[in-house]
Amino acid sequence: MLASLAGCSLLQPTRSPVAPPERTIPNPIPEAPKPSAAPATPPPAPAALPATPTAPPPPAREYHLNPATQSLVAQAHSQIARGELPGAATTLDRALRIEPQNPLLWIELARLRLTENDGRQAESCARKALALGGLDPQTRSKAGHALVDALRLLHREPEARELEAQPWMK
């Protein structure tokens, strides 16, 4: 039994400090290749793309009022003829809620604002109509003439003359 207890000493033998083995972590980023002494040949230039024909511009969209807004514009014209300018403005606002992207309605509102001698609002409405008018020459011309009148009302004659000189204003 003594032999079996001999291995069970209460005192731990002292160990000399040993450094843990170094672990190497592989580098996930590969090293860049070393430049060689011989100059590298540049990659070949990409082949020129064949000339693509230029696409024709989209056809000019003609703007029209739908039946509901036509009726409201006719009502606004009657109100203007009777001198009911605030009522006409309300009627045109109703039409704009139906077709807010229709430049013809913005031109109508610009004309009403000109009648009211409100140059700033007329200019704003005419510029909106011009922006929405796209390539339609008639719509652009109508919006441009409303803008010219608004600029003149605001005593900005040089801007009005410059706008009138644009080829699309003819």
* 155, two tokens: 């005593």
Task: Read off the pLDDT of residues 27-41 as tens digits, 9 standing for 90 and up.
Answer: 555 555 555 555 556
The Cβ of residue 119 has, within 10 Å, a number of other Cβ atoms equal to: 18
Distance in angstroms (rounded) separating the CA atoms of residues 4 and 6: 6
Amino acid at 56: P
Mean pLDDT, residues 44-65: 60
Query: Do the Cβ atoms of 139 and 129 come closer than 8 Å?
Result: yes
Q: Which residue has the tokens 């009502």?
A: 75
CA distance 149 to 110: 10
Q: What is the Cα 47 distance to its own chain's centre? A: 34
Share of the chain above pLDDT 70, in %: 65
Mean pLDDT, residues 52-75: 77
pTM for this one? Answer: 0.65
Given a cut of 50, is residue 108 above it in pLDDT? yes
pLDDT of residue 142: 95
Q: Count how many residues are written for the chain.
A: 170
Answer yes or no: is pLDDT of 45 > 70. Answer: no
Question: For residues 52 and 129, which has the higher predicted lDDT (pLDDT)?
Answer: 129
- CA dist., res. 38 & res. 104, Å (int): 71
pLDDT > 70? residue 26: no
Cα distances (angstroms) measured from residue 104 to each of 56, 111, 160: 26, 11, 21
Q: How far is CA 56 from its chain centroid?
A: 23
Q: In the chain, what are the domains?
A: 67-169 (1.25.40.10)
Average pLDDT, stretch 108-130? 97
Q: What is the rounded CA–CA span in Å between residue 143 and residue 133? A: 8
Could you tell me if 146 and 119 are in contact, meaning their C-beta atoms sit under 8 angstroms apart?
no
pLDDT of 154 over the 70 cut: yes
The more confidently predicted of residues 64 and 156 is 156
Asked if 141 and 169 count as a contact pair (C-beta separation under 8 A), the reply is yes
At 2, which amino acid appears?
Answer: L
Confidence check: pLDDT of 4 > 50? no
The SS3 assignment for 62 reads coil
Contacts 24+ apart (CB under 8 A), 44-51: none
The region of weakest confidence among 4-13, 95-104, 123-132 is 4-13
